[in-house]
Chains A and B, each alone.
Chain A
Amino acid sequence: MHDRELSERLRELPVGDQADAEARASALVAAAFRSRAPTPRRATRLRVVLASAAVALAIAIGAVTSPGDAVADWLRDVLELGRRDARPALVSLPAPGRLLVTNAQGAWIVQRDGSKRLLGAYDQATWSPRGLFAAVSRGRELTAVDPRGRVRWSLARARPIADARWSPDGFRIAYRSGGALRLVRGDGAEDHLLRATVAPIAPAWRPGAGHVLAFAARGRAVVADADSGRRLWSVRAGGGVVGLHWSPSGSLLVRTATTVRSYAGSGRLVAEVGVPVGGAVLAAALSPDGRTLAIARRARTGGAGEVLALRLSPAATRPRTMFRGAGTFSDLAWSPDGRWLLIAWRDADQWLFVRSASVRRLVAVSHIARAFAPGHSAPQRFPALAGWCCPADR
């Protein structure tokens, strides 16, 4: 193929919904620019027009959001990228516990007082049940480290490692290696294959006694005894499993693109909540009490993101909008005491700590990317949340 021919074909290849993507990005970039710059007079009139449209939209969607929503906050947030009242630096966490975070530099622990420690140059990380260790991975290596980053053990596998998860008692770690699911003891011994082919979804351990593990394979959610490998039950997930969560009571939540279904111990469906039609779901987190599932996703149009709360217990209720803003909410994490939800607002380079009992109480912190790249002056990649531990911390 000649160079010119190649260039022409590269320019002509279809790249998905290009026009829609451009429209979304245009709105996002415009919102970001307005948040950055002083607002000239012409932009003020534009802001009024957009605000009026937003009011009309708020009325239209009133049927799908609860009356308690802070509509005034939403009207401001849907047009802006980032909270103007954000604190300039992360000097503390609003709740007890420690955050585990990963970025280009590696895996970090954030203490309650806001201090940070780099564990090492790892791609992914996950807490042990009591936060005594972290299972970290980089490429084909799985490693257990203590909170100071000292290596306790390490093992290498032929295929890249991802989604390591520690069992509730700390004696097992399930992880994916390539397309397979593997199991290793908490001390790094007796590593073996559990399933040859699984979906690229993080496995989830059932709380309580025993080593019962949920994973996704071939369009189904499968629950198995990890020690024997015996399958206990499975359910079909129409459209494919996108997330697995266990409630404290032992119900398995199976998340697809359009629904959240709760299954009791035998695989009996006990509840189903529909996810409102909207954009791609980017993150989900179940509250420690198992009552609320928070979902972060893109709005269908306008370059906005939103965080929804799906109440699951004592009875499933309609989803409630917790927060909206321009750009992408990339991660969610509940505090160990369940009182705060951390929303990672990637495009605004902010973390939002939202008091789960009342959306009006909100703590925003700016310059998050820079906080995890001390000494770097260039733009840094926004960090990913890897877990908020531990209930016993003070």
Chain B
Amino acid sequence: MFASELTSGPVMMVGRVAELASRDTSDTRARGRAEASLIRAAQRGSEEAMAELFRRHWRAAHRAAYLVVHDATAAEDIAQEAFLAAIRALDGFDRRRPFAPWLHRIVVNRAIDWARRRTLRAEVGYDLGGEQAAPPVAPALADDLLAALASLEPEQRAVVVLRHLLGYTPGQIAALLALPRGTVNSRLRRALDRLGATIAEDLDARS
């Protein structure tokens, strides 16, 4: 069963995603008002407003997708698709609600689906450009983290990315992914345990 695609349109997000805005600080509320203005302007046809929305949200969306799928082409596709979905749904978007959670939900769900499909295809190290040719070298610590992330299940990577890259709380993650909060907490705990163990092993191996 694939992770569910966005199951409620932006105007129907009042219930669950409303809680994502419930913990805003005053600065965040100010940013939210500014973003609501941007969305309104984009809904009225302002290309500058749409470009600003893109500028504000692209890098986080792209990075989130990449950290889940670990494939540059797929990450670019997924992040692009999310913005195109945003454009298609723009007229119905409730600008009182935050844009980022809506966008991130699309990104993360599609990234999970893609990562699951790749697992089903059992790729054996080939990509469209041919065989991997990089010689074996001792990876830097940052690459160790990437390798450690890759060892997680897609769903675990997703919660790590939502929590530690995009800054959502476990409750907010549960709302984004339509999961019980306990499930989110257990996935996060297992993922962090495994990340810590994997990186510690690599450090030991290189020491």
Contacts and interface: CB of A to CB of B under 8 A. Distances in A.
A6 interface: yes
Contacts of B196: 1
A235 to B, nearest CB: 15
Interface stretch (B21-29, B115-123, B169-177): B115-123
B121 A160 contact: yes
A15 B62 contact: yes
Contact of A32 (B6, B87, B113): B87
A48 to B, nearest CB: 15
A163 B77 CA distance: 22
A37 to B, nearest CB: 4
A240 B81 contact: no
Interface residues of B, number: 63
Contacts of B7: 378
Contacts of B85: 379
Interface in A149-164: 159-163
A386 to B, nearest CB: 14
Given A11-B63, A25-B54, A1 B130 contact: no
Nearest to A28: B80
A378 B122 contact: no
Contacts of A200: 121-124, 126
B5 A13 contact: no
Interface in A102-155: 104, 123, 139
Interface in A4-48: 6-7, 9-18, 21-22, 24-26, 28-30, 32-34, 36-38, 40, 42-43
Pick from B9, B80, B84, B141 the residue with the most CB of A within 10 Å: B84
A294 B123 CA distance: 25
B99 interface: no
B80 A378 contact: no
Contacts of A24: 76, 80
B84 A22 contact: no
B128 interface: yes
A14 B128 CA distance: 21
Contact of B124 (A104, A162, A179): A179
A11 B161 CA distance: 10
B137 interface: no
Pick from A12, A24, A26, A33 the residue with the most CB of B within 10 Å: A33
A219 interface: yes
A239 B141 CA distance: 30
A37 B41 CA distance: 11
Interface in B45-92: 45-47, 50-51, 54, 58-59, 62-63, 66-67, 72-73, 75-77, 79-81, 83-85, 87-90
Pick from B42, B89, B145 the residue with the most CB of A within 10 Å: B145
A83 interface: no
Nearest to B11: A377
Interface in B99-150: 106, 110, 113, 117, 119-124, 126, 128-131, 141-142, 145-146
Contacts of B122: 159-160, 162, 176, 178-179, 200
A159 B124 CA distance: 13
A65 to B, nearest CB: 24
A320 B102 CA distance: 41
A199 B141 CA distance: 31
A163 B121 CA distance: 8
B30 interface: no
A349 B62 CA distance: 21
Interface string B1-37: 0100111110010000000000000000000000000
Contacts of A234: none
A219 B131 contact: yes
A242 B83 contact: no
Interface string B164-207: 11010000000000000000000000001001100100000000
Given A26-B51, A347-B80, A381-B113, 12 more contacts: A9-B142, A10-B63, A13-B146, A28-B80, A30-B51, A36-B88, A43-B47, A123-B117, A199-B126, A219-B130, A240-B131, A378-B5
19 contacts: A1-B199, A7-B165, A15-B66, A15-B67, A16-B75, A29-B83, A29-B87, A30-B47, A38-B45, A40-B46, A104-B113, A123-B120, A159-B122, A160-B119, A163-B121, A238-B130, A239-B131, A240-B126, A378-B8
